[in-house]
Structure 1
Amino acid sequence: MSGGTGRVGLVSVVMPARNAAPTLAAQLEALCRQTYPGRWELVVVENGSSDGTPALLRSWRQRMPRLRVVGVAGGCGVNRARNIGCRRALGEFVLCCDADDVVASGWMAGLVDALRTSPAVGGALERRLLNSRVALAARPPKEADELLDTFGFLPYPAGANCGFHKELWSLLGGFDESYRYGGDDVEFFWRAQLAGHRLAFSPDAVVHYRLRADAPAIARQLYRYGRSHPKLYRDFAGHGMPASRPGDVARAWWSTLVHVPDLLGPADARAAWLAQLALRAGRMAGSIGNRRCYL
């Protein structure tokens, strides 16, 4: 695996963008403010947008000469977009971020420093800056001092804040494009660890993470996340991913039942209730679709 403590060559930032016009400029501004002193490029995979995203990207080309835009007609899943960006990336290190978030000024430097000694890395997600009380009630902030570990199996970074050696991406055959939404980042980094590659965490690589703003959008996202979880279980149970525990499932559904009156309460309570219901309903649907029970 390439890397080490010596000089780093070109770094590539890969960012999928679909209908991102309301948020994209803030992310591009943030990338322009990076403290990293080395050479880097930005590869934006314009993923079939129907809004002003393509025009906005064209307007930024003079301001960001290192910006390259790759168009994908008709749109595709996030992992296909990442793979397209990685194929076009010229750097030895690839960093991934999303078009609706805002990277902190030390984000790139933090990930690159970690990649000098590790083949893959994740950074911290900060949720308070960009999000409303309603969004935070549905998806409460978590500690930002370690990689995510939602499933009690292996840790993983979020696709919105991660980096890896391009050589590792090639060795793994890229991201699994059958994961179109949810589980997409988890699957890749689990495969990396199962193949013997170590993950690092960089607390200095901070992304201000934007959540869905209203309860229906939050519920749709959590439903799609939930649908992906049985697919992960199908693919990784044989490697040690534990089954969902009946007691946890029963407590989650009981909590959902007893909090039904929250639907008549304030907006943040409604959003939290809908998020929990959507996740569990998604897991039920995913269990049927993947013929593996993970509730």
Structure 2
Amino acid sequence: MNGGPRPVGLVSVVMPARNAETTLAAQLEALCAQTYPDPWEVVVVENGSGDGTRALLRRWQRRMPRLRVAVTEEPGVNRARNLGCRRADGEFVLLCDADDVAAPGWVAGLVDALRSSPAVGGALERRLLNGPVALAARPPKKSPALLDTFGFLPYPAGANCGFHKELWSRLGGFDESYQGGGDDTEFFWRAQLAGYRLAFAPHAVVHYRHRGDTRSIVRQSYGYGRSHPKLYRDFAAHGMPCSRPGDAAGAWWALLRRSVDLLGPADRRAALLAQLALRAGRAVGSARHRRCYL
């Protein structure tokens, strides 16, 4: 029996793109510079943009023959991912975002990991594309790893992950009811609970772009917070731990003590407002989904 690497057919990169005119070209340039030598394609899902994203994609199709474009007028990142996966012809599907920049070995790194695991996540590098305000609001980890925010199961970011298309099909795709947060977490938790192994690909690096202005940071953090009770509603029975009231009270007290930061430098103000928005989102989500996760 041959013990060499598993042969791989076509690989598909699926990328949602909504109002991405200012960042998309940099990501497409990065995909053109990939070192992966075997056949692969790019499927960009134009997701109801109101800017010049669609026109930019038409120009890039003339330059990038392996680029295909799918269009949906309905917003929602999981709706776009599902459409992209349906249109993808590859055995392996890799996901990235239109506002990030993939390192040259990104495709090769994820494909190598997918030879032995049905689902993988890569590393997020957070410093190259972000200024001090964005980094204060979402500080980088000391070392790259899969995310583990909830003390339950690890998961990759949807901005840097991959899976066998067969897995996506068996799971019924991404849950399109998740919007604003939890969209990638839910899928990879469901995969692991169904018995699929998740691996980490440290050499598959994406330079990850945070929201850069305080208003956008707060909006995103609030959306993340609103999704957490929904995740708890859907996964508590599988072992996702609840948030302890004492921890939530302590977090609110700590934020109150930092209220002076609202008058301080922009980075400290953004960091505080991001945490306040996350906690407020959790409170609203708890009421909406009738599950207390504060």
TM-score between the two structures when normalised by the length of structure 2? 0.98
Partner of residue 246, structure 1: 245
Asked if 1:12 is matched to 2:29, the reply is no
Deviations 1:29-70 (A, max 9, x none): 000000111110000000011101001000101211000000
Asked if 1:122 is matched to 2:121, the reply is yes
Asked if 1:72 is matched to 2:72, the reply is yes
CA displacement at 1:5 relative to structure 2: 2.8
Asked if 1:29 is matched to 2:29, the reply is yes
Partner of residue 285, structure 1: 284
Q: Report the identity percentage.
A: 78
Partner of residue 52, structure 1: 52
CA displacement at 1:180 relative to structure 2: 1.8
Partner of residue 195, structure 1: 194
CA displacement at 1:181 relative to structure 2: 1.9
Task: Tell me which amino acid in the other structure corresponds to 2:72.
Answer: V
CA displacement at 1:144 relative to structure 2: 4.0
CA displacement at 1:251 relative to structure 2: 2.0
Tell me the distance in 2 between the aligned counterparts of 1:44 and 1:89.
10
Deviations 1:196-226 (A, max 9, x none): 1100000000010000011111000000000
Asked if 1:258 is matched to 2:257, the reply is yes
Range that drifts further, 144-153 or 13-22: 144-153
CA displacement at 1:145 relative to structure 2: 3.0
Task: Tell me which amino acid in the other structure corresponds to 2:99.
Answer: D
Tell me the distance in 2 between the aligned counterparts of 1:76 and 1:143.
34
Tell me the distance in 2 between the aligned counterparts of 1:154 and 1:144.
18
Deviations 1:110-140 (A, max 9, x none): 0000000000000011110000101100100
1:22 partner SS: coil
Task: Tell me which amino acid in the other structure corresponds to 1:118.
Answer: S
Tell me the distance in 2 between the aligned counterparts of 1:216 and 1:41.
36
Tell me the distance in 2 between the aligned counterparts of 1:143 and 1:71.
38
Partner of residue 113, structure 1: 112
Task: Tell me which amino acid in the other structure corresponds to 1:8.
Answer: V
Cα contact 2:124–2:144 (8 A) shared by 1: no
1:202 partner SS: strand
Asked if 1:181 is matched to 2:187, the reply is no
1:254 partner SS: helix
2:62 partner SS: coil
The total of aligned residue pairs comes to 291
Task: Tell me which amino acid in the other structure corresponds to 1:259.
Answer: R
